[in-house]
Amino acid sequence: PTRPLIAPSLLAADFARLKEEVIAVEQAGADWLHLDVMDGHFVPNITFGPLVVKALRPHTKMPLDVHLMIAPADPYVTAFAEAGADHISVHPEAGPHLHRTLQLIRSLGKKAGVVLNPATPIEAVVNVLDLTDLIMVMTVNPGFGGQAFLSSQLSKISALRTLIDESGRDIVLQIDGGITAKTAPAVLAAGATCLIAGTAVYGAPDYAEAITAIREAAPP
Ligand code: DX5
Ligand code: ZN
């Protein structure tokens, strides 16, 4: 199997030291930086917006993987693109026209992602695969870090693996929520290619050790 991409989620970092926390995971071997944007409306928590993405952009070469948990998303997509996001992912529930939102993200030269909540079926993405660079499966309900991994989502991950393979498209299959060295093996066995981890990285004493433990977690 190919080496999975590891994307630490800044949500679990020390917000008083964001720049240092970004640099630390890059030096620890992270592939992408995951940025959770929450509006207190689409999800019951508030984090940060494009100003923070812009402030961090000069301090890392890692692709910035921006996860928008905001509704509506469309009015803010351009601001995140201009702030330096490399990937912009949206929930189908965050707007009435997912196809148009993905077109907008692509038109700004960014990779476009679709995020599926635990209750959202894979059908939500089936008809927009031609505009999709990333599919993210939520293995917790979005809004907070440190929640328990929902193993009910493993069959969805497997089904998406099959869908992506049959499409012949180059789509990254990301998993977000409750990822640890213990939950990673089943997720990798189901066909994920990118693991997002907040608490398991930023809550660990040694970030490099934590990233390696997740990346090298052997499928069962
Ligand atoms: C939840 C966020 C996740 C979160 C994951 O709404 O989308 O990215 O940071 O945190 P952990 O890894 O602690 O479950
Ligand atoms: Zn996220």
Considering the domain boundaries, does residue 94 fall inside one?
Answer: yes
pLDDT value, residue 218 = 80
Q: Which of 196, 211, 214 to mutate to test the pocket of ligand 1 (most atoms within 8 A of CB)?
A: 196
Using the mean position of ligand 2's atoms as its centre, give its distance from the Cα of residue 165 in Å.
Answer: 24
pLDDT value, residue 183 = 98
How many domains would you assign to the chain?
1
pLDDT value, residue 219 = 76
Considering the domain boundaries, does residue 210 fall inside one?
Answer: yes
CATH code at 71?
3.20.20.70
> Ligand 1 within 6 A of 89 CB?
no
Considering the domain boundaries, does residue 220 fall inside one?
Answer: no
Q: Cβ–Cβ contacts within 10 Å for residue 161, how many? A: 17
| Residues, Cβ < 5 Å to ion ligand 2 | 36, 67, 176
Considering the domain boundaries, does residue 30 fall inside one?
Answer: yes
Asked if the interface predicted TM-score (ipTM) of this complex is over 0.95, the answer is yes
The residue range of the domain holding 144 is 5-215
Atom of ligand 1 nearest to the CA of 141: 6
Considering the domain boundaries, does residue 176 fall inside one?
Answer: yes
pLDDT value, residue 1 = 64
Considering the domain boundaries, does residue 47 fall inside one?
Answer: yes
> Ligand 1 within 6 A of 191 CB?
no
> Which stretches of the chain score pLDDT less than 50?
none
Considering the domain boundaries, does residue 76 fall inside one?
Answer: yes
pLDDT value, residue 2 = 83
Considering the domain boundaries, does residue 14 fall inside one?
Answer: yes
